[in-house]
């Protein structure tokens, strides 16, 4: 997976697939808060470390900020605490634990402590299995049979939260999306090739 593919394909998928909790969080004004330190309010420190490393694998730093730079782990922590129901919280934590167990089985350590190449390989494998389940081609239980929020597999829900947190953050909106703090005249239909990027506002 490269950054361009992640952004393009995930943005297209999530355009019609945002779950209720994520939409509710956006309506309540949740947004990623960048910062050098992150003290979790909902997750334990181990869970927060796992979420941070997984978010960074999904959206790594390149020539633009990554998930950690944009404060995405804190965004996810806040979403779980403030927006998710108890059942949704429990389902997410269960999915997180199951994902970490796959890491333990695959490379003998927690996901957060694994080598970058091992983490990337695991995320790619789990994501491919989830997408295969969506189209009925996999044996991992199918797209809607997971206990995660909205019925999605954990990795898809995690990707949704990561992208939502990133693109509602200041770095995501101003450095990756097309951003104009003081907009000019309204043009209702402009070819994307002229703009160069999707608009943040």
User: What φ, ψ does residue 178 adopt, rounded to 5°?
Assistant: -75, 125
Count how many domains the chain has. Answer: 1
200 inside domain: no
201 inside domain: no
Alpha helices (H) in 28-69, listed in sequence order: 45-58
- Cα distance between residue 198 and residue 192, in whole Å: 7
User: Which residues form the domain of 183?
Assistant: 3-195
pLDDT tens for the 201 residues of the chain, in order:
455 554 555 555 454 455 556 555 555 555 554 443 578 999 999 999 999 999 999 999 988 889 999 999 999 999 999 999 999 999 999 999 999 999 999 999 999 889 999 999 999 999 999 988 765 444 434 444 444 445 789 999 999 999 999 888 888 777 777 666 666 777 778 787 776 666 665
82 inside domain: yes
- Cα distance between residue 124 and residue 29, in whole Å: 31
pTM: 0.68
Find the helix or strand (DSSP H, E) in which 91 lies: helix 86-107
């Amino acid at each position: 997976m490269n950054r361009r593919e992640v952004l393009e394909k995930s943005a297209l998928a999530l355009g019609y697939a945002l779950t209720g909790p994520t939409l509710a969080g956006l309506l309540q004004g949740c947004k990623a808060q960048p910062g050098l330190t992150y003290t979790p309010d909902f997750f334990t420190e181990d869970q927060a470390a796992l979420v941070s490393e997984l978010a960074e694998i999904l959206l790594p730093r390149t020539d633009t900020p990554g998930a950690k730079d944009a404060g995405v782990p804190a965004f996810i922590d806040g979403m779980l605490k403030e927006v998710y129901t108890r059942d949704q919280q429990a389902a997410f934590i269960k999915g997180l634990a199951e994902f970490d167990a796959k890491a333990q089985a695959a490379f003998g350590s927690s996901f957060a402590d694994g080598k970058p190449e091992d983490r990337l390989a695991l995320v790619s494998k789990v994501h491919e299995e989830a997408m295969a389940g969506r189209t009925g081609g996999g044996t991992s239980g199918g797209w809607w049979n997971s206990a995660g929020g909205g019925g999605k597999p954990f990795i898809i829900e995690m990707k949704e939260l990561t992208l939502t947190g990133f693109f509602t953050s200041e770095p995501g909106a101003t450095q990756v999306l097309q951003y104009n703090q003081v907009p000019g005249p309204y043009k209702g239909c402009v070819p994307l090739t002229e703009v160069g990027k999707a608009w943040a506002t």
